[in-house]
Amino acid sequence: MPASRSRAERFDDLVEGEVRRLGARFEQELARVEFAVEEVPDVDPGDDAPVPLVLTEPGEQGRPVRIVVYRRPVQVRASGDPETARLVRELLTEEIADLLGLSPESVDPGYDGPED
């Protein structure tokens, strides 16, 4: 058994921790929401649009709403582990807020908004 976790495993842990933290306040509202981590989004190489960092897929035909965080684009955008943690927190807060029709500050009182 390896002594340390891989970068991908640490990222998964980070997302899971944020989902647990944010979900504790909205357990009932998020009961039918699935959270996932994928390596990269499926984008058209010829598309000039920015690569998404996160995507909310609507729940259709009995499937739950699915919020997907894309690991590699997030890690490329961030400049180290603390920045990755901040970005994941921000992205999930914004997606949950949008899904629930709330302000990001209502979802996470510590939300400071994007730092561009």
Split into its structural domains, the chain has a count of 1
pLDDT one-digit tens code per residue, 28-78: 999 999 999 999 999 887 888 888 999 999 988 889 999 999 999 999 999
Assigned domain for 116 exists: no
- Pick from 21, 39, 43: nearest CA to 30: 21
Decide if 112 is inside a domain. Answer: no
Whether residue 28 is contained in a domain is answered as yes
The reply to whether 21 falls in a domain is yes
Task: State the average pLDDT over residues 92-101.
Answer: 97
Q: What is the CATH number of the domain that holds 62?
A: 3.30.2010.20
Tell me which residue range forms the domain holding 91.
7-40+52-107
Q: Are 114 and 89 in contact (CB under 8 A)?
A: no
Confidence of residue 2 (pLDDT cuts 50, 70, 90): low
